[in-house]
Each structure stands twice: as structure tokens, then as C-alpha cells.
Structure 1
Amino acid sequence: MVETARAMASAKMPWLDHYPPNVPATIDVGAVGTLVDMFRDSVRDFAGRPAIESFGVRLSYGQLGGLSDAIASWLQSIGARKGDRIAIMMPNVAAYPPTLFGVLLAGCAVVNVNPLYTPRELAHQLNDSGATVLFVLENFAHTVEQALPSTKLQRVVVVRPGDLLGLKGKIVDIVSRYVKKAVAPFKLPTMTTFAEVVATGKARALQPVAVEPGDVAFLQYTGGTTGVSKGATLLHRNIAANVAQCDAWMRPFMRGDDQIMVTALPLYHIFALTACCMFMCRIGACQLLITNPRDIPGLIKTLKSRPFTCMVMVNTLYNALLNHPDIKTVDFSHMAFSVSGGMATQQAVAKAWKALTGKPIVEGYGLSETSPVVCANPLDLQEFSGTIGYPVPSTEVSIRGPDGQECATGIPGELCIRGPQVMAGYWNRPDETAKVTTPDGFFRSGDIGVLQADGQVRLVDRIKDMVLVSGFNVYPNEVEDVLASHPGVLESAVIGVPDEHSGEAVVAYVVKKDHAVTAEAIRAYCKENLTPYKVPRRIEFVDALPKTNVGKVLRRALRDSVADKAAG
């Protein structure tokens, strides 16, 4: 009977037969607890280990625990109650992790905010979430000043980049303010400094809060590439389950207790939040915080400053590193693995990275709505696979056609996901939640995928990004992958534009690597590698591509630009 059940599960979930040794098929969902439980355990078990490093200064888990308690205590002192939403608008500075855990310890929910938001975008997110307190790095306080009259914020905490870093921190603040002139003038009537928060919190005892697995931990806003921003409601059990899934998938391949994660992606993004901050906390590892990953020379300087064992990045960041001459001076000998997600990893980038570091890029897949990890390649991968790997433990995937029926193996359809990491729904938007939920409880990702016979999933593209040329489907990822392999191309983005003859035409926006390269040469190269209807009708050279905060190319922004020109 048991063997029959296993055979049925294997037929429905073929990936289980191909799992790496020592990786379980499921996690104990009932035992995942809360993020507060996880954090308390780590502070107790790893008190003396380094937890974070910023600008060369390290803080231990014991110090992180004390600071987080102080921030939670301060929140209680101003009347914050369990369930209140507290917003954080910071890049990866030392104050971020204790603020994050402090909010959770107080029983409140974190609202992660992109520091690059405009006042309008900021006001929308604060009002939609109902946030009452905002922690913001002073570099972005002028944006808050402009948005403040349109919000219901009761208190704003202003953080300096050098907070918690001692004497080194004072130097960091001076450079930020007076050398780089990165702090615009601002005036906030409800302002409290981060130093005051910590001092006040340390002076009073924290009142324990009974946090449950079903309580809201994060409102993670999504929609940066597709339109209206919605808050994915992530419960403690969603994130905690995903951390346990990452642990089950990755721990068998990790050697030693001195793991150092290069956290270059912003912690306010779900990828870094779970894969770097939460997972590293669970295993007692150290995060090397990168405040500004767009400063490639600065990032390389940090990579040279000390050995590191792992990193999580996106394709564009790997590509930017590869195209900087100083990357060859970085020592990758201690690096066990490098993970990519957030957008499709291009074959040319993966090949160059393996040649440079000796290690392949291990690609995974996830979304804000899934906490985020859904699929991942094994960490002992020898060569870049070109797939997003296997569904992680306790995760089901289903490829479905427009009629909602499951597609046969090898046939593309919408990737749908079911598992403990899937969100509770969109914040205050039951109608939007219903649109992405199937009758049998799967989350509709909006991505086109193919399930292979061995259970691996190959991602094709976003449904909304697909280009329809004379009835034929063209997937921008495929065209961009070909463009990336051209020696004269640094970056590219492909979209469809209206065409009276073919319905839509393929247009490529290209950032040159070789300034002498011509549109004709690139088109000729595409003709050698693509079916004629996939070849870009037009090549447009640009200085830069529009991107999200983590470097994901915004095809929507390019389509909007085309539409605006047509309307004009």
C-alpha cells in the first residue's frame, strides 16, 4: 500500500525520483514555527558568531539580538501593537537586520519599501498597507518629506548609513553627507533618530509578544514589472516554511560553520530577504552587506576584502561584474556556490562566470507571492543547466493551458504552484487573489514553463511579455539569450510592438559593448541563430535599459515608451 502511494506520488511529481541524496521529499510543515522562534534560537545558539558585516565592521548574533530587542521595545513604548504595519525604507546598511527582526519581535508586520520610490509610489504603498511608522535612511528622507502629507504616518525614524558601526560609522556618514553629497536637505516634524530609538529601547524591558505561525510577517509589494503594486501577505509560516525548504535543499552541500554570504541584492527584495537574511540567520552564517551593488568597483573592492563562500545575485549583476576588468583580481577559491534568480540567467553569462570562477551559476526560481523559492538546481551542479531546477521539498508544480487543464510533459503552459510557502493572498484585494488562484488551490505565476520528463522545470518567459508574430509565439528570453552571446552586445531587452502586417514585430533595445558594432551586424547574427520570425525587425541602441531595484529589466517600461510615442 505504501509502495503504491509512493509510485503514485512519483508519477505525479517526477522530480522526486531525481532529488539529490540526503534531500527529503517534504519538510515538517507543522514544526516550522515562526520567524521569531528561529531568530531567538539563532541568537542563543550562535551568540558569538558574526551575523552581519557592513563597511568592514562586524556585529555578532548576540549583538544583533540585543539591538533587535531594543527596537522592539521602542516600538512598544510608542504604542505599537501586535499586527501593526511598520515600513522599512533602507538599502543594505547595518541598521536593516536589527530593525527587521525588531519589528517581528514586537509582533508587527514588516512593509518593505524600495528606497528609490517616488513620493507618489511611496504614499501609495504606505496608505495601502496602513503603515504607521517608517524607518528610512537619511539619503531618502527628502522623498518621505514630500510624501508625508498624503500619508497617515505617526512617526518617522531616520537612519544614518554609519549607525551601529562606531568610529568607522562616523567616517561613513561624513563621506556620505559631505564627500558624495548623497543626503538632500529634509525636514520631518515627526522625526526620531535611530540612535534615540536604540537608546530608549535599551532603557526599558521588552514585553514578550505571543507571535503565531498564522500572523502576518511581511507585506511584500509586487507588480514592479507588470503594473499595479499589490501587497503579497506573507505569514510567519510562509517564510519560515520557505527557509526550512531552503535548508533541506542546501544544507547537504554546505561544509563548515563559517559561511559568508555576499548579500548584494537589497534585503527589501524577497529574494535576498529569504535566501540571504533569513536562511543565513537560521544556519548561523555571516552576511557581507553590500549597500550599493550598482557601484561595481566598490563591490569588487569589498569582494577582495575577505574570503566569501556564497553569493546570491541576478543575471545583470553577474554580467556587470564580468565586464569590469578588476573582477579578475578577486579570489573565488573559497566560494562554494553562486545562485542566480529574479530573472532568466543567460547562457553566455553563465559560461563566462564558470570560466572566471570555476563554479557554475546555480539557477533557481521564485516570486514575492511564494516567499520566494519554488524551484532550484542542486548546489553540486557541474555545468549551468539552463533550467530552474526541481521543485523544492513540499512543493507541487503544475503546467496548465489557457483552459486550466494540465499540459503534457514538454508542452509549455502557465507555471502554477502549491505549497506552504505560497502567500495567504494579496493585502485587502480578494478580487486580485481570486484571479491568481486555481479551483484546486494552485497559485498562477503568470510565467510560461515546461515540465521535463525528469521533473526539472524550464522557464520560457512571462505570459505578458510573449510576442505574437503572424500567429507564432516569440519569447523575448530566447532572443535576448542569442543577443547576449554576440561579442558586441553588453545588455539587451526585447519587446513586441504593434505591426499592421504581422500583428506584432520584434524590437530589440541594445546596450553596446563594442561601440563599432552595427544594427546590421547584430541582425545578421540573429538570422544565423533564430528562425526568421524571431529575428528583431528593428535594433535600437540605448545607453542603458530601465531596470527594477534588483537589476531586472523592465520590458513594460519600454512598451510604455513605445505606446507614449505612438499616442503623441
Structure 2
Amino acid sequence: MTAFTPWPDDLAERYRAAGYWRGEPLGDLIRQHPSRLALVVGEKLLTYRQLDRRVDRLAAGLSELGVASGDRVVVQLGNTAGFVELSFALFRLGAQPIYALPAHREHEIGYLCDATEAVAYAVPDTVGGFDYRELARRLTGRVKQVLVEGDAEEFVSLADVSAEPTELPPVDPAGVALYLLSGGTTGTPKLIPRTHDDYLYNARASAEVCGLDADSVYLAALPAGHNFPLACPGILGTFAVGGTVVMAGSPSADEAYRLIEQEQVTHTAVVPTVALLWAEARAWQPERLDSLQLLQVGGAKLSADQAAQLRSELGAPLQQVFGMAEGLLNYTRLDDPADLVDRCQGRPLSLDDEVRILGPDGQPADSGELYTRGPYTIRGYYNAPDHNRTAFTPDGFYRSGDLVRRLPSGHLVVEGRVKQVINRGGDKVSAEEVEEHLRSHPAIRDVAVIALPHDLLGEQTCACVVADNPPSTKELAFYLRSRGLAAYKAPDRVFPLSALPLTPIGKIDKRHLLTLATDPEPRDP
């Protein structure tokens, strides 16, 4: 099996005939609407023409550095002009950005560099007191080039990577354009290859469903390397219709409210945790939000009560979004009644999204595990043949691991997860990965990591540990950080036990652990 799994020829032909795949490379997306305002980042304003020229020069400069078609580059930039310019320069070269998240550290970045044989790694200088250049130094020898947005010190400054534009080799729209990261149920995230064809359809169709047009102003409040703010419809969907993208340095209410009022933002997307904090901040934030035409909330389940609260507090139309970086997107529609928007997570984006819901017996049901395939859902993870045999059915349906219930209208209600992934405020934490690292702690004899319900985050991480002197959450956070893990993966709670409960066949009984950990008077099993 090759590293990339293509769609079967018959389905590819069907998607092209339907107009989903147009044979256009992502790098051409910003060549339209030259005089319109494309990007706002702080005081920097770029029209499409200006952005296009900067991207051409950057692509030529990268080519002179040796970055070529098919090369992979780990991109860990924040919501900056550099993120947009570098992404499009790589698209035009036929090189492939791998979108790491700002919170990732040596463990995650080292894996991405090694697994993909990346030729370069792009970082900011410092953000929030963290020096990404020091992280890059710890990866010396694992990539050929380190590109830095800001003070590069001994590395290559992204601002200096510029050359006279030259004609570049044509890019295959059916080929891989970029890699997103899976939430990951195993020790390391899986790489999700998205092609120019499928991802451009993802963005364009999303823009249509969300009502974006050339007058739309989209606020990228979440980290831009996430699928949600990148193409659902996000940055790429906004560019597809000639709208304006405004980059926020953080999703805080202070910054977001200021930018919404100042730039007359019409659309934005956040996770429930952020949305609820925004609603709370209305009590003291003076900014006007009347320009906001749509608030998208996704990445974790929003309850009906929370949805009603957000609409009341923020005064903007609400859209629930349920999707996955692997593909399938579900949106409530702009004309759905409010009570339906409040109680479900949307219906599939495309007429050619195929959805199967299978019950515990493996038979079709209205409630069960979600399986899907379609014109923008991948057919396999990058270079993962063994995992692909279990993650995908023989006929190409992706096993999402989500438990859903289908309403008569076709809308889906998310009811949980089959896989051991903790959705901590939109950040996905692999229980298995955290367990693997915690088992190496000298004080811990055994451990199981579970999700506990949380009013604000949706779920929080609980480490159930067997230890004579159980480490504190602070101690475990420091330990995991020392092993190169992102800070959000540290347990929020430690639950000490004398032994882990087991099922009749000898496996750790995580259902019983959840009962014990949420009992107001917890007892040992």
C-alpha cells in the first residue's frame, strides 16, 4: 500500500462529474478578486493582489532554499500573515504543510518531522513567553531548515525568504495539498492527507452553506492550523468568495470583541468553552457585536441549554457544527428553526456524503457508531496501512468512533465516543498516549486515564493511579512537560486507587472507573 490512499477511479469520476472536484490547485485561490481586501493582521492590511505577490516571492525563495514539490514542511505558526503566506507558497510549490498546533512540544513535533521526513520546520520566535527557537534547537539534525517568523537568531528568517518569481512546475490537484492531524486514539497523532480537490470543495461548499460572500469578514479566532478555522469555511472558504480574513492573536473575549467591532466581523467559529466565556464577558465588555451574522460552535458538543444561552447573550445567529479533520462535516442550516439548532449538531454538508449508523450488532440503526465516506472524506491515513485496516471498512467507509443518533430530518445528535479520546474543550487528548507516559513515572504502579464530565470544558482528563504516594496534578503536569508533551494533555485530576477495576476478561473497566471517580463518596473497587 502506498503512503497516500486515493479515491477509487469510479468515485473520483463521479465527484468530478458532479462538480465537487474542479481540478484547481489551492495555490490559485487568492489570484481572484485582486482589488479586494484579503487579510487583516493587526495594522497590516493586504489586498488579494498584494497577498498574491508576496506568496509568489516566498514560493520562489523557498525553491531557492531547496523546498520542492512533494516535500513536507511542519508549520507551527500562529494566526499571523506568515501562516497564510507560507501555506499558499507551499501550495504553489506542490510542497505540503503539516499543520502542528501551537501547544505541541518536542514529543509531538519530533514525531511529525521523523514520520514525514520533513525538510523544514516553521515556527514563531516567542509566544506567551515560550521560545519556539529553543524547541527547534532540540530538533537539530531532524530537518534541514528552520524558518522563523520574527527574530530568527541562527535560523532562517521567514521575512528574508524572498526571490523574483519564476515559473513553477504544475501542481496536480488530485495530489496531497496538506496534512491535518487526527485527534489520535494511539500514542501519536495520525496524519490526514487532504488533496487540493477535496479540500477546496470542503471550503467552498462550507462557505455556501454558511452564507459567505465577497462582503463577508471572517474572524480566525481559533488556531489557524485546525480544520475548523482553516476550511469550515474558515480562511480558505472566505478567500474562495473574495471575503476578508481577520486574524486574532488569541480567542480571548477582549481581543475578539475588539476585532468584531473594529473590523465589522460577520462570521467566526469557536469551541463551546470559548463561546461560553464570550457570553460571560458580555457583562463587562462594551463593544458592539451587531455586525456578527453567524457564530459557529463546534469541536465539542454544545448542549441545548448552552446553545440557547449563547443566542440570548451574544445576540447572533448560532450554527452548530460537528465534523472531523478526516472529512465529514455537519452543519445546522441558516433556515433551521432555533429549537432544532439548539438540540442537534447539524446534517451532512454534501449530497454525496454517505452516512452509515451501525448499532452494537453491526446492523444499520438510528443510533450507534457513525461510518462515512464521500467527496472530501479521506480513504486512509498517511503511511499507516495497519491502522487503516481497522479505521476504514473494505468498501472505504471511515469508522469515526462517534456515537450519534439520527433525527427524522437527517440531522445528527452526538451522544459520545467509542474511541478513547478525551475532548477537552476542543483539544483532543489520547488516553492511551497519556497512559503510556504516566506508566514510566517512578511512583506509579498502574494507571488508567478517563474523561470526566465538566461544565465548561465538556470533558476533563482524570488519571486513575495506583501508587503508594500518588503524585499531584502539578507534579504530573511537570513530568509530562519534561517528556515533551503538550501542556493540555496533563491530567486535570488525579484519582488514587489501590488497584484498577477489571472486566471479567481481565481488561481495565473504564466504565466502572467513571462511576467511582464521579461518586460523591468514592470508594476503592
TM-score bin, normalised by smaller chain: 0.7 to 0.9
2:334 corresponds to 1:368:
no
Take 2:346 and 2:222, find their aligned partners in 1: how far apart are those partners?
Answer: 21
Q: Deviations over 1:128-154 (max 9, x none)?
A: 1211112211114334334323x5211
Pairwise CA RMSD of aligned residues? Answer: 3.2
Partner of 1:157: 147
Take 1:395 and 1:84, find their aligned partners in 2: how far apart are those partners?
Answer: 31
Q: TM-score, normalised by structure 2?
A: 0.75
Return 5+ residue gaps in structure 1 as ranges.
1-25, 161-182, 468-475, 485-489, 500-545, 547-551
Q: Name which of 20, 25, 50 aligns with 1:29.
A: 20
Q: Name which of 244, 248, 260 aligns with 1:290.
A: 248
Paired letter, 1:352: Q
Paired letter, 2:190: K
Take 1:437 and 1:553, find their aligned partners in 2: how far apart are those partners?
Answer: 31
Partner of 2:277: 320
Q: Secondary structure at the match of 2:107?
A: helix
Take 2:335 and 2:364, find their aligned partners in 1: how far apart are those partners?
Answer: 31
Partner of 2:475: none
Paired letter, 1:235: T
Query: What is the number of residues matched between the two proteins?
Result: 432
Once the two structures are TM-superposed, the CA of residue 496 in structure 1 deviates from its matched residue by 8.3
Alignment of 1:448-467 (within 5 A): 448-464=403-419
Once the two structures are TM-superposed, the CA of residue 328 in structure 1 deviates from its matched residue by 4.6
Paired letter, 1:395: D
Partner of 1:107: 94
Q: Deviations over 1:444-481 (max 9, x none)?
A: 111101112221111111113599xxxxxxxx99x95x
Partner of 1:517: none
Take 1:559 and 1:109, find their aligned partners in 2: how far apart are those partners?
Answer: 35
Query: Structure 2 vs 1, CA of residues 267 and 455 (structure 1 numbering), >3 Å: closer, same or farther?
Result: same
Query: Structure 2 vs 1, CA of residues 89 and 492 (structure 1 numbering), >3 Å: closer, same or farther?
Result: closer
Q: Name which of 193, 196, 199 aligns with 1:239.
A: 199
Determine which structure has the larger helix proportion and give its number: 1
Q: Deviations over 1:220-277 (max 9, x none)?
A: 1223576421111112122122123214423xx44x6321011101111111111211
2:114 corresponds to 1:147:
no
The alignment-based identity, stated in percent, is: 23
Take 1:420 and 1:559, find their aligned partners in 2: how far apart are those partners?
Answer: 39
Once the two structures are TM-superposed, the CA of residue 326 in structure 1 deviates from its matched residue by 5.7
Once the two structures are TM-superposed, the CA of residue 369 in structure 1 deviates from its matched residue by 1.1
Partner of 1:3: none
Take 2:280 and 2:185, find their aligned partners in 1: how far apart are those partners?
Answer: 26
Contact 2:96 2:179 in 1 (8 A): yes
Once the two structures are TM-superposed, the CA of residue 86 in structure 1 deviates from its matched residue by 1.5
Partner of 1:92: 79
Alignment of 1:41-440 (within 5 A): 42-43=30-31, 45-139=32-126, 140-149=131-140, 151-160=141-150, 188=154, 191-198=155-162, 201=163, 204-223=164-183, 227-250=187-210, 253-254=211-212, 257-274=214-231, 275-293=233-251, 295-325=252-282, 328-370=285-327, 373-383=328-338, 384-393=341-350, 394-407=352-365, 409=366, 412-440=367-395
Q: Secondary structure at the match of 2:191?
A: strand
Return 5+ residue gaps in structure 2 as ranges.
1-16, 423-449, 466-479, 481-485, 501-525
Q: Secondary structure at the match of 2:81?
A: coil
Take 1:358 and 1:325, find their aligned partners in 2: how far apart are those partners?
Answer: 10
Q: Deviations over 1:504-542 (max 9, x none)?
A: xxxxxxxxxxxxxxxxxxxxxxxxxxxxxxxxxxxxxxx
Once the two structures are TM-superposed, the CA of residue 58 in structure 1 deviates from its matched residue by 1.3
Once the two structures are TM-superposed, the CA of residue 381 in structure 1 deviates from its matched residue by 3.5
Query: Structure 2 vs 1, CA of residues 562 and 124 (structure 1 numbering), >3 Å: closer, same or farther?
Result: farther
Take 1:257 and 1:127, find their aligned partners in 2: how far apart are those partners?
Answer: 41
Contact 2:71 2:96 in 1 (8 A): yes
2:444 corresponds to 1:493:
no
Q: Secondary structure at the match of 2:393?
A: coil
Query: Structure 2 vs 1, CA of residues 247 and 314 (structure 1 numbering), >3 Å: closer, same or farther?
Result: same
